[in-house]
Structure 1
Amino acid sequence: MPTPLERISIPIEPVSFETLDWRPRAPEMHSRAEVARQTGSYRASIAASICGWSPRLGAEDSSDIEDATRRLVEFDGHAQRALGTDSPALGPMTAILLRTESASSSQIEQLTTSAKQLALAEIDEGEKHNALTVIGNVRAMEAALDLADEVSENSILAMHRALMLHQPGFDPAAAGCYRSEQVWIGPGEAGPRTADFVAPHHTRISESIHDLVRFAKREDVPVLVQVAVAHAQFETIHPFPDGNGRTGRALAQSILRNKGLVGSTAVPISAGLLVDVGRYFTALGAFREGDAGPIVREFARASRIAATSGIRLVDDLAAQLSESRSRLQGLRSDAAAWRILPALVAQPVVNTTYLVRELGLGEMAALRSLKALAERGVLTEVTGRARGRVWQHGGILGILDDYAAEIRRMSTW
């Protein structure tokens, strides 16, 4: 049986090339041999226009895309049914799915962190570098959904700005700005002449992004095909000095929401891509060579994984919420602890500052509520300090870490 990468192709115009000259900018920083290798002409990619492209899909791919689309819609509906559309936990559930998607997207870039460290970073506790960086990805995903009413050049720039303003060491002035120099992927410290992929020259970025946006606005392309191809084209353009992969996966979420395929939740598609990162990168390479089939199939496959694992995640979190709710029986119906409980789905590590800021509680009311939640076994105080205390919901953190471990196990199958 052929593998997904061996199926019939979905033709798309490949990248072309232009020959440019390169001289290392800081030759004193490199060996003479490397400077010699990187001095001279090189070939930079030129992204083909996709705004008028129409996919030629075979019967198997059409069926695959239709099935994956149906699964995503079912997942979105299941999240609403599991919690109820009027549930105060539906918003937090969306937030935690978005954070899960952000963590998986970051892990593709070798940025890993635990659910606890990520939650600590959200309340300005902990000092884990990766957690702080992943928070930037959360902000980019939030921007993607907030700006999904219109997929535009400005919304793409806003996603990148939200991402990179939270990345330690990145120049804030460059956040949300296109790169102003040549970039490449693969070998070559002093220049692009030995690179695996040389992105388009920076003078071509704006025109290519405008073309991509026109493609994303079309209504005559199957949504998953549109998402996959727009993402691959964005990665080919590589418009930013850093954060292209994470911004490109945020763009995928924005298009899914913009087209109305999902409405109540974020979809953890990056978790599906994370199962086989090598195949995902190979599919991006095939796209640049003129075959959109592999990347379309990767997104269809990732969507099925996202839907299946996402349903389990929603059910497990809903069960934790129900168990915690049962522990609060007998507490006054107007007690602030009831307001805190659904928020724990999105933020399973809290302190009084967070509750005051996000829920509008007074500091004393927040402390009394945290005490009540701890006495009833819903939360555990984890610092042992008299001041600056932090409480966590161990059950929710355990579910989130189990979910991440399941995705890692799937990658070894």
Structure 2
Amino acid sequence: MSQYLPPLTVTPRMLALVADISEQVGALTANREVALTPQLRRGNRIRTIQASLAIENNTLSVEQVTAVLEGKRVLGLPREIQEVRNAFATYEAMSGWLPERQTDLLAAHKLLMMGLIDDAGQFRQGGVGIYRGQRLLHMAPPASRLQPLMHDLLHWLGASDWHPLISSCVFHYEFEFIHPFADGNGRMGRLWQTLILSRWRPVLAYLPVESVICAQQETYYGALAAADQAGEATPFVEFMLQALRKALAEASETDQVTDQVTDQVARLLEVLKPGVALRANELMERLELSHRHTFRANYLKPALAAGLIEMTDPAAPRSPMQQYRRTSQ
């Protein structure tokens, strides 16, 4: 019996992107062996979760997601809060799973969708179509075909000698095409691609590529549709590789910015004494700054991202009464 092979045309653009990304990953791994602190890992994971859920219409902000995970009260829909808790638990458990193992895939879905759908952790029993408004974008294969399709896909993934950058993108597309679950297929596809990549290079477990996908959502869905039309994963693989390259470039930029703004963050901490909470305009006044964008980009955001300061009211991040204080670390 011939082994299943997902249809794909390897293009020069794909190969150029793989070479680019491999180089970026090497540089990031070298830079981050010391730099990727627990706070940065957690910050990146929160951005990943917030963006992946935002693609599925969850309205919670990064600040609200952070607050939920810290056990603070957040004004939000109970379902959205449950989605955040489930997603965080699932990403935290990711390192214990093998990408090619069906039992692990089902366990991940159970954790991700627990309390959100009745058949969490089980393949769907009925047919499913993907709609945008009234328009049918994709009719998934019937439920009777799921077991053989998923068996072939996971078996191929376990045996594949393709570069993990390409095989992870192909798996993501094929998984979305099959749409094996009643709900949660989008976030599962993105999670499983991250798992595959993290097995290749552990630093990629904390790369928030979902933030790039979220910002390019229409292009993401367009690439899925183009791959459907082409009858092969090629357009989607090219899209995902450029998203990975962009996410890596942003991560590298963050590393450089973190080095450059150390002095500014140190100055911010000087004027924000332990036990004191101040509003943004009060901090700007003490720092003798008049340009709000400069203050937010070079002082406030890096300090928040590094976990050195926090909001007093994370449930209302844009409140004019919002204050900031040092974290207790």
Q: Structure 2-normalised TM-score?
A: 0.73
Indicate the residue corresponding to 1:106 in structure 2.
Answer: 53
The 8 Å contact of residues 269 and 299 in structure 1, kept in 2 or not, is answered as: no
- Structure 1 residue 313, shift from structure 2 partner: 3.6
Which one has the largest radius of gyration?
A: 1
**Counterpart residue type for residue 256 of structure 1:** L
**Counterpart residue type for residue 123 of structure 1:** E
**Counterpart residue type for residue 68 of structure 2:** A
**Counterpart residue type for residue 11 of structure 2:** G
Q: Distance in 2 between matches of 1:316 and 1:394?
A: 22
Match of 1:216 among 157, 160, 178: 157
Indicate the residue corresponding to 1:97 in structure 2.
Answer: 44
Indicate the residue corresponding to 1:7 in structure 2.
Answer: none
Matched, 1:120 2:70: no
Q: Distance in 2 between matches of 1:214 and 1:313?
A: 38
**Counterpart residue type for residue 59 of structure 1:** P
Indicate the residue corresponding to 1:180 in structure 2.
Answer: 125
Indicate the residue corresponding to 1:283 in structure 2.
Answer: 223
Indicate the residue corresponding to 2:85 in structure 1.
Answer: 135
Indicate the residue corresponding to 1:157 in structure 2.
Answer: 106
Q: Distance in 1 between matches of 2:267 and 2:310?
A: 9
**Counterpart residue type for residue 249 of structure 1:** R
Query: Aligned pairs, how many?
Result: 283
The 8 Å contact of residues 213 and 243 in structure 2, kept in 1 or not, is answered as: yes
SS at 2:136 equivalent: coil
Question: What are the residue-to-residue correspondences of 1:304-323 with 2, within 5 Å?
Answer: 304-314=245-255, 323=266
SS at 2:206 equivalent: coil
Q: Structure 1-normalised TM-score?
A: 0.59
Q: What do residues 34-72 of structure 1 show as CA deviations (whole Å, max 9, x unaligned)?
A: xxxxxxxxxxxxxxx984347442333212222123223
Q: Distance in 1 between matches of 2:247 and 2:234?
A: 20
Q: Which protein is richer in helix relative to its size?
A: 2
**Counterpart residue type for residue 99 of structure 1:** I
Q: Distance in 2 between matches of 1:162 and 1:293?
A: 31
- Segments of 5+ residues of structure 2 without an aligned counterpart are 275-302, 315-322
Taking only the aligned residue pairs, the percentage that are identical comes to 22
- Structure 1 residue 395, shift from structure 2 partner: 8.2
Matched, 1:207 2:160: no
- After TM superposition, the runs of 4+ consecutive aligned structure 1 residues lying more than 3 A away are 53-56, 262-265, 312-327, 344-348, 377-383, 392-396
* Alignment RMSD (CA, Å): 3.6
**Counterpart residue type for residue 110 of structure 1:** N
**Counterpart residue type for residue 286 of structure 1:** A
Q: Distance in 2 between matches of 1:115 and 1:55?
A: 36
Match of 2:197 among 256, 273, 282: 256
| Change beyond 3 A, Cα 1:122–1:314 | farther
Match of 2:171 among 230, 252, 271: 230
The 8 Å contact of residues 224 and 236 in structure 2, kept in 1 or not, is answered as: yes
Matched, 1:68 2:18: no
